[in-house]
Structure 1
Amino acid sequence: MNARIFLSAPDVSGVEERYLVNALRSGWVAPVGPDLDAFEAEIARRCGTAHAVGVSSGTAALHLALLALGVGPGQLVIVPTLTFAATANAVVYTGAEPVFVDSLPGDGNLDPDLTAGVLADLRREGHTVGAIVPVDLFGACAEYTSLEELGVPIVEDAAEALGSSRDGRPAGSFGRVAALSFNGNKILTTSGGGMLVTDDGDLAARCRHLATQAREPVAHYEHRDVGYNYRLSNLLAALGRGQLTRLDEMIARRRQLRERYLKLFAATEGTRLLGEADPGSNCWLTTLVVDPQRAGWTAADLGTWLAARDIETRPVWKPMHAQPVFRGRRVWLTGVADRLFATGLNLPSGSGLREDAQQRVFDAIGEFLDAR
C-alpha cells in the first residue's frame, strides 16, 4: 500500500540530528543558550538584517512586532484578506482592528494601488492606521516598493518566504520589521518556532524583553510591563541551525518541482501557476489556478481525484473577510481573493518528496487530465 503524500512534510536529515544531539550533550536544555544566539545571528545574516529575535511562533513574532510599533486599541491595521488567520489574529491580540484589503491576480499578494486608496479613505474618516502587514504569499514577496512609500510602518509577514527575494532584497528585509515562521510545514522547520528580524536595534531589544515575560534585569523578579512567554528554545534553535545549512538545496528542490508542474500543465487550457513568473520565490507551495470555463473541470475536481489516491492538496487560504470570526470587519474587495479561493489548489511541494513519490503525483495528475 502506498504511503500518503503530504502537501509539505518536514525535510529532516542526519545533519539536523547531529545539531540537536550536540545541543543536548552541551547541557543547554533550558529555553535559551548558545544555539539560540547562533541561530539568531545566522538568520539575521540570511535576511540581510542587523538583528533577530527567536520566538515560539511566527504569530508571536507578528504580535511582538506590532506591540513594539505601538499598535493598540483605537488603531486600524491593513491586512491582506488572502492570508492565514494568524496575520489577522496578531492584530486582534494588540486590541487594534484589522482592515482587510484584496489581492493582485498574478501572485495573490496585497494590491498596492488598492491599499493606497484604502489608506486615503481611512485617513479622511479620521482613523489612525498603525501598520500595514503585507504577506509574502506562498513564498512570493509582496510589492514593497509602492507599499513603503505610503508613510505607514510596514510589518512584513514573511512566514512563508524565508530564502525568497524581490529586486535583489531578501525576504525579511522589507519594512520596519519582519516575522518568519518555522512551523512544521514551512520551508525550514524547528518543529515549532519563529523569528523576528529587523535593522532597528531598539525595536529588537523591546521585543526580546517582552518575549521573556518582560523581566527587568535585577536579581529578583521585577516586571514593569505585561510580558509573554515567547522565546524559542535552545534545542529547537539547534534543529533550525541544521536546517539552515540545507536551506538552499531544499529551495532548489522545490523550484525543480515547480518547473515540473509548469511543464505538466503548459498545454492544459485554462490553467496557470500562481506567481509563476516570480524568479525570487522560494516556491514554498506551488498553487494551481483553474479557470473551469476553459478547462472543463475545477480545482476541487482535481483535489478530490488526488485525495482518492492518498495525495494531499489544499485549497488556497479562505479569505479573512469570509471567515465567521471576522464577519463584519471593514474590507475593500476587487473579487480577486474570492476567485483565487474558488479556483486555486495547493499541490504537493515538499523538498523531501522523493522521486518515486513525485512520479506518483504526476502520474495521478496525468491520469486525471487524460480522463477529461
Structure 2
Amino acid sequence: MENKRIYLSSPTMHGKEQEFVKEAFDTNWVAPLGPNVNSFEKELAEYVNIPNAAALSSGTAAIHLALRLLGVKKGDIVFVPSLTFSATCNPIIYENATPVFIDSEEETWNMSPEALRKAYEKYPSPKAVIIVHLYGTPAKLQEVMEICAEKGTAVIEDAAESLSSTYKGKHTGTFGRFGIYSFNGNKIITTSGGGMLVSEEEAMIERARFLSTQARDPARHYQHSQIGYNYRMSNVTAGIGRGQLLSLEEHKALKKAIYKQYQEAFSDIEELSMNPLNPDGDANNWLSCMTIKEGARVTPDMVMDALEAENIECRPIWKPMHLQPVFQEYDFISVLEEKGGKGSISEDIFNRGLCLPSDIKNTQEDMDRIINIVRKVFVTAHIVA
C-alpha cells in the first residue's frame, strides 16, 4: 500500500470561502468585476495597512503593471535578485528592458546591499529595483531602501511569498512605491490563481485597474488609445480570497510552528541548517528550507530522493536567474570575486539547499515521518562512511 501523500504546500480551505463564492453565483457576478473584487481589495489593503490595492490575475501581472506604471521601456536597466522565481524578472523582458541580477547575502538569502551598491557603480541609473522577500523572510529593507532612496530609484517589492511578514512592525509589500502579492495555489493564502498590486498612490492603482481591463477609453464605443491587458481578478476567485484572508493569521502561526519543529528536530545535526530569518522582521515561514554544510557526506539530492521515495513532496531551492539559459546574456553582480572567492552566494545556497514540506495540514504523524526520513539520511551516511 502506498504511503499517504504529503505535499510541499497545498491549499487549505475552511468553508468560509464557499459562502463568498456562492454569493457570486447567486447574484450572477461571475465576471472579472463585482462586489467580491472590491471587498477583497479593501480588506487586503486594510490588513497590510496601505490605502490602495488592485486585484489581478496573478502576481506576475502585478509586477508587469508596476513596471509599466514606472515607465520601464526598452533599454532601461532594472536591478533584480538572482535568487528568486522567474516570475519576478520575466515582466522585465515583457517590456524589452534589461535585467541586471544582484547576488544574495547569507543572513536572509535576499538581495545583498553590498552587491546592490556595486551594481550602482556599474549601472548608475537603473529605472527600478525589484526586492524579493524569499520564502517569506523579509529582506534587509532598511539598507536596501536607503541605497535606493539615495540614488533616487523607484522600488517594487515582490512580496509574493511574504504576505503577513513584517519588517520592524511594517508589512512587507508596503515599503516600495509598489508592492505585489501572489495568491497562487501554494501560497500562504490562495485564490487558486491571482495577485494584488498595492501602493500609497491612488492614481497609480486607478491606472493599474484601467490597464488591467484592456485600457478601454471612457467612450460609448470601444476605443483604445494604448495597449492594455486582461489582468483583472474574477469575482469568483476574489470570493475565495476573502474567505482565505479571514484565516491568514492562523495559517501564519501554523507555518511558523512547522519551521520551529524542524529547527528543534535538526538542532543536533551540525551539517544541517535551517534557512536564516531576519532578526529585524517577523517571517511568515511560507516554506521551511534547509542547507547542508559544504563537504558533508549528505547532499540535497539524497534528502530529496529519500523523501520522494516515501511519497513526500519537496523541491530544490530556486535556481538563480543568472544560471538560467534564458537569462544567460544578462549581467550578474556578485561580491565574492573581488573578495577572492568564486561563484556567488545565491549559487551556493542553490547548491546546498532544499525546501522541506511546509503544508499546514500536516499532522504530527506527518511531521514525525518527514523528520525521521531526513535524520535517517544523515545517520546512514555516517554509518556507511
CA distance in 1, matches of 2:277, 2:179: 24
Aligned to 1:308: 309
Aligned to 2:340: none
Aligned to 1:351: 360
CA distance in 2, matches of 1:57, 1:147: 26
Aligned to 1:31: 32
Report 1:135-154 matches (<5 A). 135-149=132-146, 150=148, 151-154=152-155
Aligned to 1:83: 84
The structure 1 residue matched to 2:128, chosen from 126, 131, 142, is 131
Contact 1:184 1:191 in 2 (8 A): yes
Aligned to 1:285: 287
The aligned amino acid for 2:233 is: L
Q: Deviations over 1:225-273 (max 9, x none)?
A: 1000000000000000000000000110110010100011111012211
Report 1:293-372 matches (<5 A). 293=295, 295-333=296-334, 334=336, 335-372=344-381
1:223 match: secondary structure: coil
Report 1:173-252 matches (<5 A). 173-252=174-253
Aligned to 1:160: 161
CA distance in 1, matches of 2:278, 2:3: 34
Contact 1:23 1:35 in 2 (8 A): yes
The aligned amino acid for 2:376 is: E
* Amino-acid identity (%): 39
CA distance in 2, matches of 1:350, 1:171: 22
1:133 match: secondary structure: strand
Q: 1:307 to 1:264 in 2, by over 3 A?
A: same
CA distance in 1, matches of 2:277, 2:136: 11
Moved runs in structure 1, 4+ residues, more than 6 A?
Answer: none
Contact 1:82 1:317 in 2 (8 A): yes
The aligned amino acid for 2:306 is: W
Q: Which runs of 5+ in 2 are unaligned?
A: 337-343
1:277 deviation in Å? 5.2
CA distance in 2, matches of 1:17, 1:360: 32
CA distance in 1, matches of 2:266, 2:372: 13
The aligned amino acid for 1:347 is: L
Contact 2:137 2:277 in 1 (8 A): no
CA distance in 2, matches of 1:85, 1:324: 12
Contact 2:315 2:355 in 1 (8 A): yes
Q: 1:168 to 1:321 in 2, by over 3 A?
A: same
Aligned to 1:102: 103
1:371 deviation in Å? 2.2
CA distance in 2, matches of 1:198, 1:354: 38
TM-score norm. by structure 1 comes to: 0.96
CA distance in 1, matches of 2:169, 2:274: 23
Q: Which runs of 5+ in 1 are unaligned?
A: none
The aligned amino acid for 2:66 is: A
Q: Deviations over 1:202-241 (max 9, x none)?
A: 1111111100000112221111110000000000000000
The aligned amino acid for 1:247 is: L
Contact 1:47 1:197 in 2 (8 A): no
Report 1:235-274 matches (<5 A). 235-274=236-275
Q: CA RMSD in A?
A: 1.3
Larger mean CA deviation between 270-279 and 37-46 belongs to 270-279
Aligned residues: 367
2:120 match: secondary structure: helix
Report 1:15-54 matches (<5 A). 15-54=16-55
Larger mean CA deviation between 275-284 and 49-58 belongs to 275-284
